[in-house]
Structure 1
Amino acid sequence: MKLKEFIESKRFESFIIALIIINAVTLGLETEKQVMDAVGPVLIMIDRIILAIFTIEVLAKLWVYRLAFFKSPWRIFDFIVVSISLIPATGNLSVLRALRVLRVLRLVSAFPSLRKVVGGLVAALPGMGSIVMLMLLVFYVFSVMATKLYGGLFPEWFGSIGASAYSLFQIMTLESWSMGIVRPVMVHFPYAWIFFVVFILCTSFTVLNLFIGIIVSAMQAEHEGHATEEREEMLARQNEIMKEIRSLKQSLKPQSG
């Protein structure tokens, strides 16, 4: 079996997926002190063996695809993740030890369905620009208003535009917004609930729904694009088969005559 056929085979892909899952488990176990005291050397050895296999896999793909290797963003992602794992995590680079867990994200590149989801999210990024600008504008307007309205009595929450923006972000997430912020403010400003309810309606329910709509439409477009590519590939195969059938008919005509 040729090297290209081997690394593109389903068995090899399943083997790599199994290694990624095993590696995810071992990396999680390494965070437990009791487990490391008991079987730490074994986990480290398993991690190094898996990293060696990943390195061989990337090198094999580099050898097979050459420069075409870097045309696939998923192969580039695998290359970067494995390269980070190979850098010695000592001294100032000790933070790279924590980045070894990025190897688990290789599951995304291994499953086509996950690749489609990520592709949809990436495709949605350009359309999110206008929504982000709208969100920033809404936050700025409400932050200025909150600072002027409530900054005098509640400087910790609304003493500056930055503090107001942070407090409003907490309110937008609906995390303890009523008992934590709004009700204390309403003790001095009984109608303050109108301001905060309008803010929540403008952000949590309106702008965030726009985000979701853009992401869903981008994922749908990504799915339709993949479906179109599959149809084109199928038509190309059918055309090749028809050409082969025609050539066979032409080659058989003299014999029948």
Structure 2
Amino acid sequence: MPSISRERLRVFVDAPAFQRAVIAVITLNAIALGLETSPEFADQHATALLVTDRLIIAIFVVEILLRIAAYGKAFFRDPWNWFDLIIVGVALVPASESLSILRLFRFLRILRLISVVPGMRRVVSALFTAIPGLASILVLLLLALYIAAVIGERLFHQAAPQHFGDFSTSLFTMFTVLTVENWPQVAQDVMATEPLAWIFFAAFIVITAFFILNLLIGVIVSAMEAEVNASHWKADQAIELEQHIAVMNEIRALNERVDRLTAALPAPANTRPPEGSS
């Protein structure tokens, strides 16, 4: 494909109007998939839903082909493009009896909003960037949960066997307490026999819900801030590059004008007196 045609096609697929059209198609797909969950509506409008589904798949395929034609090999260097390509590719697999589970993957098409909407893409990119820090904090949280479940089973298995009868029950109970959902009822059941058990629950909630979970949120916020700053830095660099090019063009034009004016000036007359004159 000629470079001029590819450049025009790239401008077309990157245009805001084209992006909004893709978002509208994904939204229509989400609505259609939601309507299919109603048996009555699906039976009455089966043909319309089938035609809509096929039309949406065709639009997605055309969109992917246009982007591949616009960017060439560069298309496959972007992980988000691979994400879109896999989702659209799964939609093209025929849903036979042996592959009927693939029909459930049609709902993954809605996830294409993540790759199309820049704001959502930044959020997901920030989450992936924060995975190393999140992993450390999650390990710390699981460690605290495990230790609390072991201690709770040892201390309260007789006082409240419905909550701490064995390790698995104790682990689920402490996870419930971690979510701060209905934990007073668990604490009251234990405190009916062990009055000082509130110390255990209060310490666990302070350590996990207040400290560790807030650390988790802090890492995510820091990653989001770094991602936003990186996008702003790229935008600033692009603006500075444009300004630099504009200034250099102006300087080049001024130099050419000065050269033309210098060439147009008459040569200076020879005012030196001849030799031997007084």
Alignment TM-score > 0.5, same fold: yes
| Ranges of 4+ aligned residues in structure 1 off by more than 6 Å | none
Task: Give secondary structure in 1 for the equivalent of 2:94.
Answer: coil
Paired amino acid for 2:170? S
Partner residue, 2:16: 10
Question: What is the identity, as a one-letter code, of the residue corresponding to 1:183?
Answer: Q
Paired residue type of 2:81: R
**Paired amino acid for 1:118:** V
For the residues of structure 2 that align with 1:146 and 1:93, how far apart are their CA atoms? 46
Q: Tell me which of 178, 181, 191 is aligned to 2:184.
A: 178
Provide the rounded CA distance (Å) in 2 between the counterparts of 1:34 and 1:121: 40
Question: What TM-score, normalized by structure 2, do the two folds share?
Answer: 0.86
CA contact (8 A) 2:152 2:170 kept: yes
Shift of 1:249: 2.5
- 2:187 match: secondary structure: helix
Q: Single out whichever of 229-238 and 65-74 deviates more from structure 2.
A: 65-74
3-state SS of the aligned residue for 1:46?
helix
- Equivalence for 1:250: 255
Question: What is the TM-score normalised by the length of structure 1?
Answer: 0.92
Q: CA RMSD in A?
A: 1.8
Task: Select which of 186, 196, 202 maps to 1:191.
Answer: 196
CA distance in 2, matches of 1:199, 1:58: 51
Structure with the greater alpha carbon radius of gyration: 2
Cross-structure match for 1:225? 230
Instruction: Indicate yes or no: 2:84 matched with 1:84.
Output: no
Cα deviation, residue 153, structure 1:
4.5
In 1, are the aligned partners of 2:29 and 2:56 still within 8 Å (CA)? yes
Question: Does the 8 A contact of 2:160 with 2:189 survive in 1?
Answer: no
Counterpart secondary structure, 1:139: helix
Alpha-carbon distance in structure 1 between the residues aligned to 2:41 and 2:85: 30
SS in 2 for 1:91: coil
Q: Which residue of 2 aligns with 1:111?
A: 117
In the alignment, which residue of structure 2 is the partner of 1:53? 59
Q: Structure 1 stretches of 5 or more lacking a match?
A: none
Measured in 1, the distance between the counterparts of 2:203 and 2:113 equals: 42
CA–CA distance in 2 between the matches of 1:92 and 1:184? 51
CA drift at 1:193:
1.9
- Aligned twin of 2:175: 169
Deviation at 1:156, TM superposition (A): 4.1
Q: Please, which of 197, 221, 244 is the counterpart of residue 216 of structure 1?
A: 221
Distance 1:63 1:101 in 2: 27
Write the distance in 1 (CA, Å) between the matches of 2:180 and 2:259: 81
**Paired-residue identity, %:** 38
- How far residue 68 of structure 1 moved from its aligned partner, in angstroms, is 1.2
Structure 2 residue corresponding to 1:44, chosen from 42, 50, 55 = 50
C-alpha displacement at 1:173, in angstroms?
A: 1.0
Q: Is 2:115 the partner of 1:120?
A: no
1:32 aligned partner = 38
- Please give the secondary structure, in 2, of the residue aligned with 1:81: helix
1:64-101 per-residue CA deviation (whole Å, 9 max, x = no partner) reads: 32221122122121111111212223334322212211
In 1: Cα distance, 2:224 partner to 2:64 partner: 29
SS at match of 2:192: helix
Gaps of 5+ in 2: 265-278
* C-alpha separation in 1, matches of 2:19 and 2:143: 47
What does the per-residue CA deviation read over 1:81-128, in whole Å, with 9 as the maximum and x for residues that have no partner? 111212223334322212211211212222222222222222211111
Q: For the residues of structure 2 that align with 1:164 and 1:125, how far apart are their CA atoms?
A: 29
Note the C-alpha offset of 1:49: 0.3
The alpha-carbon deviation at position 244 of structure 1 amounts to 1.9
User: For 1:244 and 1:43, how far apart are their aligned partners in 2?
Assistant: 57
Measure, in 1, the Cα distance between the counterparts of 2:162 and 2:99. Answer: 38
Cα offset for 1:17? 1.1
Q: Name the residue aligned to 2:26.
A: 20
Question: d(CA) in 1 for partners of 2:69 and 2:233?
Answer: 31
